[in-house]
Chain A
Amino acid sequence: MNFWLVRILSIGAAVGFAWFLSVATVDAPTLLGPRLVALAGMYVTLAVSLNLINGITGQFSIGHAGFFQVGAYTAGILSGLYFKEGMNPMMWVGLMSIAGAITAGIAGLLVGVPSLRLRGDYLAIVTLGFGEIIRIFVTTQQDPLINGATGINVKPQHNAVFLSILLAIACIAVCRNLLQNAHGLPFLAIREDEVASNAMGVNTTKYKVIAFVIGSAFAGAAGALFAHTESFILPDLFKMELSFLILTMVVLGGNGSITGSVVAALVLFYLPEVLRGGEGQATMAFSGPMIVGFFVGLIALVAGIRHSQQRHMSSQAAKFGFLAFTMGAAVLVGVVVSLLAKASPNLSAAKYDVNQLRMVIFSITLVVVMLVRPQGLLGHREFGWGLFTRKSATSEVQA
């Protein structure tokens, strides 16, 4: 098909889809309401942009929340300074997200350039440190525009559904086009073998920095949207846990798979919301001993599965027997621990709702995925248009 026709049709379809969602969500039940859908779009953007840095270029950045925060506070500060009541909220928010992208992109540049010389582990600590520096720096600012730990109320409160979906689609498109293009090959080359690609003449410096800048710019744009949707931002929202959450999304979906990041982002974002039980209803309550027993049993189970995978079993029957034994042991351990826990007054009285368990569930997900299927749900695979033309539904992205 004609190159430009395809492009225009795709853009039109993207805009149309985003517009459709923004209208359809207005009167929908909370789970599909404007705020959650907008947030989902932002998390997808965050996951895919981190995937560009971690999965596609093979770097190890765990400070993504820092770029998110830069974008959010840029929007907050600029809105505090320049927003007037009469302006169109959507146009203003759109403008803010561009501003957020620019500042976050600059931040990405500042972080990326010094980190060139650092290997994976060191890069991780530098990016983590950067995220923390940003957060602490904001916390110490007394100026009422930034307001330190108190947080700022961002003025035009606007559920940015249209913009957020559009941003997510744009992010996915950029990353996908990079991958399918000759332009994207250097990134993949760096991921596969940095030394070799350097030897082959690929300017690893340039591409690593580009990856950082693009990834952080998208995160910053999402941050600006976040500031206006939530209308109240404070530094505590952008702690390390958020970086780890985004990392979980990327890892669960498969480091390097864009589809995987999208799916994982949606799943991990919507799961606690779904379990919240709807408007105003009581959240599901779990008792303390039950939880302790469950988790200990789960760890034992996973360890057992893992162990059985590695051991060389003489026959299928032996394997099966061992698995059954492991599961039995896991259940037993779980029951024993929960009985013990019943004895402790702290534990037996306590009831927890899903909110408190959210981080526990996430961390367990991370560990279990790593132990059982480290390549994530989709590995390096992508879903593409090939779904309709090719025999196999998925095509693996090979460097």
Chain B
Amino acid sequence: MNKKLIGIASSLSLSVAMLAGCTGGAATNSTEPTNTGSNSTSTTSSTARPAVTAPPIEAKGDTIKIGLVASISGALKPWGDDSARGAKLAVDEFNAMNKLGGKRVELIVEDSGSDPKQGQSVTDRLIASGVIGIVGEVASGITAQIAESAFRSGVPVVAVGATKTTLTDVGNNIFRVCYTDALQGPVMARFAYEELGLRNMAVMTDNQQPYSQGLSASFSEKFKALGGKIVREEFYKSGDTQFTSQITNLKGLNPDGIFCSGYFTEVGIIAREVGQQGLKVKLLGGDGWDSSELQNSGEAILGGYFCNHYNSAEDRPEVAQFLTSWKKAYDGSTPGTTMGALGYDAAMLMCDALTRAEKLDTHALIKAIDETVGFKGVSGVIDLKGHNGNPPKRALVVELQKSGQVFAKAYEPEEN
């Protein structure tokens, strides 16, 4: 009898403790997604970034090693493959231009497996093998760990598609070629409020991804500031396969739109569920939707809008040239996602900085990247000078149709 009482008592106390923890979490999660600390939504990064303290690493010999961390396996494989191909194309073209007086750039590719921990260990490996710069990654969670490792050794990092705003705060050696969630979220909020006339939105956040958490937060903040209402934020985890209960929950609250801030793998299934339940809402999202397969995952996702980095139908010469080179190098195919162009831009920017650096070592390279002005990338003009690693770039809102991504509206970068 005693054993039973003790058993019940201890598990009751455990459950009370957990419920208290649950409510603590719920109070901040249910209607108002307020995130503090590393999920802050500042549009410009905080003032002074910590400076690199490690001694400079020099490139030795005629080959300059640049590392590329890409998700060649795992859930983000489509992005990783595209970014790797884009980067390789850039390096090949750069070597052909011979701007370094006979020296070549060697791109060493490592697989992050779509996993932050593996990303960290391959970064360490790359640094140990003598790279003076790292290109990568496409996802914020992985890039965060690359940044930490690289900061310790003072190696510059140019991120390809990581949009989480606070990534560049890790150190003054972290840069990116894409916009941040601080831009993306408010852009989608404005698009929803002003262009689509939505007033009551629900948010579906992937609790497993810092990208999704940050994007949901910046979207919600702007949407509420404009006068809209966030009826509810529902959560799921990467890898989840069922969303029936979350969508049923939302149904009762009658939103006119759902902002799905996660990656394409789950967004497709969420959209299907929305369609199956007969919920008539507009679906919106961020660049996590970008994939060549999303338009094939059912009817409900068609007509949805998301924010992307560039559109291959754009009229600029860089885009046309990029597409031609890609076709030639890769058997007449086209890049499936924008990560191809972003990977290309990131690698080309790194190489371009090599030509401008005073010496071929990490410190000089950081300085050269930081002073980049007017770099004409495929995804747009990239200015890094004075911007703490986050280039002001346009955001394109596209509509997802059966034929692919159709351009809807462009938003120029603004400083809030």
| Chains A, B in direct contact (C-beta < 8 Å) | yes
Task: Give chain B nearest CB distance to A278 CB in angstroms.
Answer: 11
Beta-carbon contacts of A130-171 to B below 8 Å, as 1s and 0s?
Answer: 000000010111111001111101000100000000000000
Q: B190 CB to closest chain A CB, in angstroms?
A: 26
Specify the main secondary structure of chain B where it touches its partner. helix
Q: Are A142 and B25 in contact (CB under 8 A)?
A: yes
The interface bits of chain B over 79-95 (1 if a CB of A lies within 8 angstroms of the residue's CB, else 0) are 00000000000000000
Instruction: Please tell me if A279 contacts chain B, counting CB pairs below 8 Å.
Output: yes
Contact A205 B3 (CB under 8 A): yes
Q: A113, B207: Cβ atoms under 8 Å?
A: no
Which residues of chain B from 16 to 46 have a CB within 8 Å of any chain A CB? 18, 21, 25, 28-29, 35-39
In the assembled complex, the Cα of A144 lies from the Cα of B34 at a distance in Å of 12
Picked from B10, B18, B209, the residue with its CB within 8 Å of the CB of A113 is B10
**Complex Cα spacing A117 to B3, Å:** 8
Q: How far is the CB of A281 from chain B (nearest CB, A)?
A: 9
Interchain CB contact under 8 A, A149 and B237:
yes
- B29 in contact with A142 (CB, 8 Å): yes
A239 to chain B, nearest CB (A): 11
> With A142-B25, A144-B37, A279-B125 in contact, do A232 and B148 touch (Cβ < 8 Å)?
yes
Q: Give chain B residues whose Cβ lies under 8 Å from the Cβ of A173.
A: none
Interchain CB contact (< 8 A) of B7 among A116, A137, A139, A279: A116
- Which residues on A sit within 8 Å (CB–CB) of B99? none
Tell me whether A237 and B117 are in contact (CB under 8 A): yes
Bound-state CA distance A234–B29 (Å) is: 21
**Also in contact, A232 and B28, with CB within 8 A (given A110-B10, A117-B7, A149-B237):** no
Asked if B38 and A144 make an inter-chain contact with CB atoms under 8 angstroms apart, the answer reads yes
Contact with B along A62-80 (1 / 0, CB 8 A): 0000000000000000000
How many angstroms between the C-alpha atoms of A257 and B293 in the bound complex? 53
B208 and A116 contacting across the interface, CB-CB below 8 Å: no
CA distance A137 to B19 in the complex (A): 11
Please tell me if A236 contacts chain B, counting CB pairs below 8 Å.
yes
Quick check: is A201 within 8 A (CB to CB) of the other chain?
no
Complex contacts, A345 vs chain B, CB 8 Å: none
Name the residue on B nearest A153 (C-beta). Answer: B148
Q: Are A148 and B3 in contact (CB under 8 A)?
A: no
Q: Report if A280 contacts B (CB, 8 A).
A: yes
Which parts of A105-121 form the interface with B (CB within 8 Å)?
109-110, 113-114, 116-117
Given the known inter-chain contacts A113-B10, A116-B3, please indicate yes or no for A144 contacting B39, CB distance below 8 A: yes
Please measure, in the bound complex, the distance between the C-alpha atom of A113 and the C-alpha atom of B36, giving whole angstroms: 37
> Are B129 and A279 in contact, CB atoms less than 8 angstroms apart?
yes
Alpha-carbon gap, A153 to B213, bound state (A): 18
Q: How many Å lie between the Cα of A149 and that of B237 in the bound state? A: 9
Per-residue contact bits, chain A 227-251, to B (CB 8 Å; 1 contact, 0 not): 0000110101100000000000000
B389 within 8 A of A: no
> Of A137, A142, A150, A237, which is within 8 A of B28 by CB?
A142
Contact of B141 among A113, A140, A150, A237 (CB under 8 A): A150
**Across-interface contacts of A114 in B (CB, < 8 A):** 7-8, 10-11
CB distance from A148 to the nearest CB of B (A): 6
Q: Is B6 an interface residue (CB 8 A)?
A: yes
In the complex, which of the residues B3, B21, B117, B126 contacts A137, with contact meaning CB atoms closer than 8 Å?
Answer: B21
Q: Name the B residues within 8 Å of A142 (CB-CB).
A: 25, 28-29, 35, 39, 213
A151 contacts across to B, CB distance below 8 A: 116, 145
In the bound assembly, the distance between CA atoms of A144 and B36 in angstroms comes to: 7
List 14 other contacts, CB 8 Å, given A114-B7, A116-B3, A150-B141: A137-B21, A139-B208, A139-B237, A141-B21, A142-B28, A142-B213, A144-B37, A149-B237, A151-B145, A153-B148, A232-B117, A232-B145, A279-B125, A356-B73
The 7 closest A-B pairs by CB, nearest first: A144-B37, A280-B129, A149-B208, A150-B210, A114-B7, A113-B10, A114-B11
Query: What are 22 A-B pairs with beta-carbon distances under 8 A?
Result: A110-B10, A113-B6, A113-B7, A114-B7, A114-B8, A114-B11, A116-B3, A117-B3, A140-B25, A140-B235, A142-B39, A144-B36, A144-B39, A148-B208, A148-B213, A149-B210, A150-B210, A151-B116, A231-B148, A232-B145, A234-B116, A356-B73
Task: Mark A residues whose CB is within 8 Å of B.
Answer: 109-110, 113-114, 116-117, 137, 139-144, 147-151, 153, 157, 205, 231-232, 234, 236-237, 279-280, 356
